[in-house]
């Protein structure tokens, strides 16, 4: 589940829970809304926990034999 899908499920669940007043036989729309909000919230948390930007440190050494050596450290986010 991607972040946009989680937000969409959260929004649709909130609409079903708090804004819709229609009655459907056999289904409680408020319960369906709460379930969609829970799934959306869990999806957002999992998406951010698993696919959050990770940092990687890269150390690069430039130089040649007998000459000056230059070392640089960069932080990369991917």
State pLDDT tens for residues 49-65.
887 666 666 667 676 66
Tokens of 46: 């999992």
Rounded CA separation 43/65 (Å) = 53
For the chain, which residues make up each domain, given as ranges?
Answer: 3-77
Please list the ranges in the chain whose pLDDT falls under 50. none
Identify the pLDDT of residue 20: 93
Rounded CA separation 51/43 (Å) = 11
Identify the pLDDT of residue 2: 84
pTM over 0.75: no
């Amino acid at each position: 589940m991607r972040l946009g899908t989680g937000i969409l499920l959260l929004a649709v669940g909130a609409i079903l829970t708090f804004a819709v007043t229609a009655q459907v036989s056999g289904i409680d729309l408020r319960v369906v809304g709460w379930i969609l909000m829970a799934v959306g919230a869990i999806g957002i948390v999992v998406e951010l926990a698993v696919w959050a930007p990770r940092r990687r440190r890269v150390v690069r050494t430039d130089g040649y034999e007998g000459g000056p050596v230059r070392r640089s450290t960069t932080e990369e986010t991917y």
